[in-house]
Amino acid sequence: MRSAFPLAARPALLAALLLGALLLGTLGSPAGHAAPGPAPFPYVRGALPMPKPRPGEATVLTLETARGPLPLTLSQLRALSVVRYATEQPQLGRTFTYEGAALRDLAAWGGFGGRDLRVMATNGFAATIRAADYLNHPIMLAYRADGRPISPLHKGPLTVVLPPQPARFSTGSYSAAWVWFAERLAPAP
């Protein structure tokens, strides 16, 4: 079968296809910039247009920005790029396939990307996540586990999820970073 492209045009076409593939990998970042990190995150979908809150729709997460609080509904949170991976929830001792928004995307959306983050829960618990970690590893704020909304029994409806690697995420200072009932995200003081 003959190609519709002349032999001389094929290197340019290949270069354009490779550039396009690279650019498509950045569509999920809030500003369309290439996301930092040594390896791409396991995005399963890029960002969608941010919907306006529907009448009566509850705020599920508040980003504490320099311009004031930025409330997000679940439909708005779901409009951000989606990360998905399986990992063990340490308090439950069960493995789930979690789905949610990468903390680096939420931090960029809030205007404080590159700074350490403070995640606060409705029950008063809080944890700090270092910028180098959320920028280079797909730490997420999950809203689904095994394809279903996360129940309070399973540490939902929103929970911070750390990937299985590096192993240090399951020990030391990060062993308590699995914040469930998450409600606010802010730059760390």
Mean pLDDT for the stretch of residues 5-29: 35
**CA dihedral (170, 132, 183, 189) positive or negative:** positive
The mean pLDDT value for 152-181 works out to 83
Q: Exposed (0-12), middle (13-18) or buried (19+): which is 137, by Cβ within 10 Å? A: buried
Tokens of 148: 């279903």
Of how many residues is the chain composed?
189
Question: Does the pLDDT at position 21 exceed 70?
Answer: no
**DSSP result, 107-152:** HHHHT-TTS-EEEEETTS-EEEE-HHHHHHS--EEEEEETTEEPPG
Rounded Cα–Cα distance for residues 154 and 167 (Å): 22
pLDDT in tens, 71-120: 999 999 999 999 999 999 888 889 999 999 999 999 999 999 999 999 99
Structure tokens, 47: 């960002």
Instruction: Share the mean pLDDT of the chain.
Output: 80
pLDDT at residue 189 in the model: 87
Residue 14 has pLDDT above 50, yes or no: no
Q: For the CA atoms of 100, 143, 156, 137, what is the dihedral angle to 10 degrees?
A: 0
DSSP 3-state of 102 = strand
pLDDT at 6: 45
pLDDT in tens, 26-59: 333 343 334 444 456 889 999 999 999 999 999 9
Instruction: Please compute the mean of the pLDDT values over residues 142-166 and round it to a whole number.
Output: 92
- Token pair recorded at residue 162: 């750390």
Q: Closest by alpha carbon to 137, among 181, 104, 99, 170?
A: 104
Closest CA to 160 of 186, 141, 187: 141
In this prediction the pTM is 0.76
pLDDT for the residue 103: 96
**Partners of 129 in beta bridges:** 117
